Chain A
Amino acid sequence: MNRRSALKLALSAPLLASRRAWGQAKTITLWYPAGDITAGAAHFTDKSFFAPFEAKAGVKVEAVGLDYDTMQQKIFAAAAAKNVGDVLFVDGSWVPGFLKEEMLDAVPDARAKAWLDAVSPEIRTLSDYGKGKMWGYPQYGIDIYGLTWNKDHFKEAGLDPEKPPRTWDEFRDYAKKLTKRDAQGNITRVGYAIRHVGHPHGVVHKHFWALYGAGASLVDDPLALRGGKVNFNNDGGRAALKLVLDMLDVDKSTSLNFPDPRAALLKGLASMQISETVSIHERAPKEAPGLKWGLATPPVRKAGDKPVTLLGSWLYTVPKMAKNREAAWQLLEWINTPEQDFEMCKKYAATPRYKVNWDKEPFKSNAYDQALKQIYPYGKPLPVNLGLNGVMDAMGGAIQKTWHHEAKLEDALVEAERAANKAIADAAK
């Protein structure tokens, strides 16, 4: 049996290997992170989303949901093996890492120019990676970070529900008033919810407003692909970390024991939080139908400063090693026409990207969309430096270490600066 069966197994292995039946219509794959991580990816599970394109192009589109935490790893391993999805819908903060490995196809120059001319300014900021170069198209419904608060909690605490805190001092004051405790003194509701666990990138995303609002930044030149130095080991960087640290230790108006800020707000465990507005907008109707929430720019360090917030981005990209590059770009072109933009944003209640669509209903009179539009001018994207992964890891680590009292604020920043600058230098080689 031994020899014969071994032979049989060896022969059948290729059969086992080829799971794809031959002779079916060409299929292109689109990889996206499944789950609640990206509210903006919700439409990929809708089977009718691709139907018009499939009919027109004679190509089937298979949307593959991946786990967010392992997605970067899968993309990398798949690219190395030349077996990666044809379209990758990725977190913008991963893009510099991909660029470092020269993994992405650039948007053809002519198309890029047409796009940049036709979209609103904040979309232009997100799309342009320097000198009009585009590596992908940003998603529908821009991912901007804003301050959201529970209006009922405000009323309960004697605060005007329509007036959010405008300065850091006011912010701390409000948070103190909004915090609730039980009989034993355990905090049952935090005034302000913070993100401090999970992937370091996410931690940095939700700290961005404070860091930049204090006058610091992640790197000195946000548009430089190579080189440069970090800019957070200074007064601004320290002040931003200290703000939350004081709220933790002195005011006791926030706590490390609460879940993700968005979940906390939706569950009534927090009164204020600063993160992706689109998440609250999409999830509140389902998860917290009774919630009355407000939306505004984050508070500034002192009166008179301009607010700053993060323009998060998710990009449709095409990897160089995709097997069906042409069809992939066809799909992207289709998804990103003004007509599709209009249809999809209307259907999924997202803000449009084309200037011309902003003038149309329902966006023109939608309160939420218009409120977002007011915030857009203050949004800044993440830097494009090829060493961004390392910079975010370092900064995220510093934030976590400080707030968890694993290290002193100053020391954490010094260490982060060292590690981040090294990452930048390594990426520039």
Chain B
Amino acid sequence: MVHSTRRLIARLHARRVWHAYLFVAPIVLLFGAFRVVPSLQTLLYSVYRVELLRGRFTFIGFENFRELLADPTFHRAAWNTLVYVLVIVPVSAALGLLFAVVFDTRFPLRELFKALYFAPMVTSTVAAAVVWWWLYNPQFGLFNVLLRLVGLPIQPWLMSSRTALLSIILFSIWKGLGYNMVIYLAGLQAIPESFIEAARIDGAGAFQRFRRITFPLLAPTTAFLLIYNSIQAFQVFDQVFVLTSGGPAGSTNVVVLDLYRQAFERYNFGYAAAEATVLFVLILGVTVLQYVYSKRFEVSY
């Protein structure tokens, strides 16, 4: 009796393992073929001089990376990307939190307004960027027209290296505000009322309640948003491509745009692959750091 049950269990177990592999096979195979293998190939290319069309691959060790580290264009691109990430990530999250708190209260037409804030998220970055490109036009764009209306000096926006990156940042903040807000709102609404009530009964003021109870309990949401925003920000491409193509004077060049240019316009595949590798390591590092850091501060209830 025992023997056959053991065999039955073994058979069941075996069946499930087989099922498991079958169920994950499509995804693993598809990703393997179309995402993982090309990624590995890129990694490989980074230590070669690649002349794709002539079919010539010359192993050059870390030459590409050395060149990368000495290249002022790459420095600028890395710097711009860093600035972009350091501004966008906290600002988006902070604004999202601010408006989530506002929207957590009751006021007329709240749902309507929430829908309006979220609308930019559903449009494609390309289409939205084209509209903003028109808005940023120095002569006829709405932004400068409004500035003139109130007597303020007009800005060059996308046309000047001083203001171009900021202009792109503004666009990205506008586009992502709804998302950050909605995520935080969900987080806020998941906090049991009882906690807040208890604090209020204990005599804590609104700000105190927020600082001591609400914000710590939002830690997982904050962690998620910071990580998500970071990954997106490091990969920024569409809007830069549409709005400025990395100019003027390299002031909005970002790493992904630069590696795209290196690969497809300069045909420097090895070099672009090296850039891509650096970017990937950076994103991985930042994500891991944030994840580890957030785990230490996690509060569960």
A and B directly contacting (CB within 8 A): yes
The closest CB in chain A to the CB of B271 belongs to: A426
A390 to B247, CA, bound (A): 16
Please, what's the 1-or-0 string for B231-248, where 1 marks a CB less than 8 Å from any CB in chain A?
Answer: 000000000010011011
Q: Does A80 contact B (CB under 8 A)?
A: yes
Please, what's the 1-or-0 string for A363-406, where 1 marks a CB less than 8 Å from any CB in chain B?
Answer: 00000000000000000000000000110010001001101111
Q: Does B109 contact A (CB under 8 A)?
A: no
Please, what's the 1-or-0 string for B32-76, where 1 marks a CB less than 8 Å from any CB in chain A?
Answer: 000000000000000000011110000000000000000011000
Q: Establish whether residues A102 and B54, one from each chain, have CB atoms under 8 Å apart when the complex forms.
A: yes
Q: Establish whether residues A101 and B53, one from each chain, have CB atoms under 8 Å apart when the complex forms.
A: yes
CB distance from A311 to the nearest CB of B (A): 23
Known: A258-B139, A404-B160. A389 touches B245 (CB 8 A): no
Q: Establish whether residues A199 and B22, one from each chain, have CB atoms under 8 Å apart when the complex forms.
A: no
Q: Establish whether residues B264 and A76, one from each chain, have CB atoms under 8 Å apart when the complex forms.
A: yes
Q: Establish whether residues A400 and B265, one from each chain, have CB atoms under 8 Å apart when the complex forms.
A: no
Number of A-B contacts (CB under 8 A): 94
> What residues of chain B have their CB less than 8 Å away from a CB belonging to chain A?
22-23, 26, 51-54, 72-73, 137-139, 148, 151, 153-154, 156, 158-162, 241, 244-245, 247-251, 260, 263-267
Known: A76-B264, A257-B138, A257-B159. A404 touches B51 (CB 8 A): no
**A403 CB contacts on chain B under 8 angstroms:** 249
Q: Establish whether residues A97 and B267, one from each chain, have CB atoms under 8 Å apart when the complex forms.
A: yes
A76 to B263, CA, bound (A): 9
A69 to B51, CA, bound (A): 22
A70 to B148, CA, bound (A): 36
A2 to B244, CA, bound (A): 46
Known: A2-B22, A73-B264, A186-B154. A404 touches B248 (CB 8 A): yes
Q: Establish whether residues B154 and A100, one from each chain, have CB atoms under 8 Å apart when the complex forms.
A: no
Interface of chain A residues 81 through 104 with chain B (CB within 8 A): 97, 100-103
A100 to B162, CA, bound (A): 36
Q: Establish whether residues A404 and B53, one from each chain, have CB atoms under 8 Å apart when the complex forms.
A: no
Looking at B26, B53, B153, the one whose CB has the most chain A CB atoms below 10 A away is B53
Q: Establish whether residues B266 and A389, one from each chain, have CB atoms under 8 Å apart when the complex forms.
A: yes
Query: Which residue in B162, B250, B263 is a CB contact (below 8 Å) of A400?
Result: B250
CB distance from A215 to the nearest CB of B (A): 25
A100 to B266, CA, bound (A): 10
Known: A2-B22, A389-B266. A102 touches B251 (CB 8 A): no
A102 to B54, CA, bound (A): 7
Q: Establish whether residues B26 and A102, one from each chain, have CB atoms under 8 Å apart when the complex forms.
A: no
